[in-house]
Chains A and B, each alone.
Chain A
Amino acid sequence: MSIDSVFVHKMWNDHELSKMVKGGVPFPMLSDAGGKVGTLYGVYDENTGVETRGRFIIDPDGIIQGSEILTPPVGRNVSESLRQVQAFQLVRKSKRTEATPSGWKPRKMTLKPGINLVGNVWKVWNTEMAFDETAFGDSVGRRAGARHGIACWGDRPVLSSL
């Protein structure tokens, strides 16, 4: 989503983006002329009349689970966005009986929040595990079933469901 019209989106996709992504952009490119939606989501800048790069992770119940807003010179990290979606899906599937510690990736150890974990996190988890890419837990990779939508604002408009 951006303040550009759908006509601009068509030209951008057909004449530039389709040269970088085979088949063109695989999700709808939304137009928010006037910035009404962007204002509500805190990404529309009235002074410059454009929308800042932003990304919101919205769960199947329509709850905003995460967001990231950056100024234009620094691009976002799609892999990190997808990692977060996978983490939200795991938490949701476990009905919040599991939590993902810092640096969690699919197959890495999760925490089981509860009275027994209070004050005892240090016994089961340490900070090095946040950076260790091979510290897989005993569970096999979980396949998440729930859908999460990512809506993005700025020069890279996105609305997709995974």
Chain B
Amino acid sequence: MPQEFKPGCARPTGGVIGETSEEKKPEGEQLVKKEGERMILIGRKAPDFSAPAYYRGKFVNVQLSEYFG
């Protein structure tokens, strides 16, 4: 499942998948919304992400949702 990759000298990074842009919203609303978006809740969908990883001698990319099902 995890895809191997060959890194250069830069540190590889991953990130949240399905990130929404917060910049377009009016300022007051943005503050509240930003706080809300940061919360994870038990019983709710886990935010998906991908990240580089070290796994059994290899550098691989791992995505959370690949483990679902």
A-side residues, CB < 8 A to B, are 1, 5-7, 9-10, 13, 24, 26-34, 36-37, 39-42, 56, 58, 60-67, 147, 149, 151, 159, 161
Contact = CB atoms under 8 A, between A and B. Distances in A.
A65 to B, nearest CB: 7
Please name the 6 residue pairs, one residue from A and one from B, whose CB atoms are nearest each other, closest first: A28-B53, A28-B55, A9-B54, A30-B51, A5-B11, A149-B67
A56 to B, nearest CB: 7
A31 B53 contact: yes
A9 B53 contact: yes
A67 B43 CA distance: 11
Contact of B54 (A26, A28, A149): A28
B38 A42 contact: yes
A60 B68 contact: yes
Interface residues of B, number: 34
Contact of B16 (A36, A42, A67): A36
A149 B11 CA distance: 26
B15 A58 contact: no
B13 interface: yes
A105 to B, nearest CB: 22
B44 A30 contact: no
Contacts of B48: 62
8 contacts: A5-B11, A29-B53, A29-B55, A30-B62, A40-B38, A58-B46, A149-B67, A159-B62
B7 interface: yes
Given A5-B12, A40-B49, A63-B44, A151 B55 contact: no
B20 to A, nearest CB: 12
Nearest to B37: A40
A54 B52 CA distance: 19
A29 B15 CA distance: 15
Contacts of B67: 58, 147, 149, 159, 161
Contact of B40 (A27, A36, A42, A147): A42
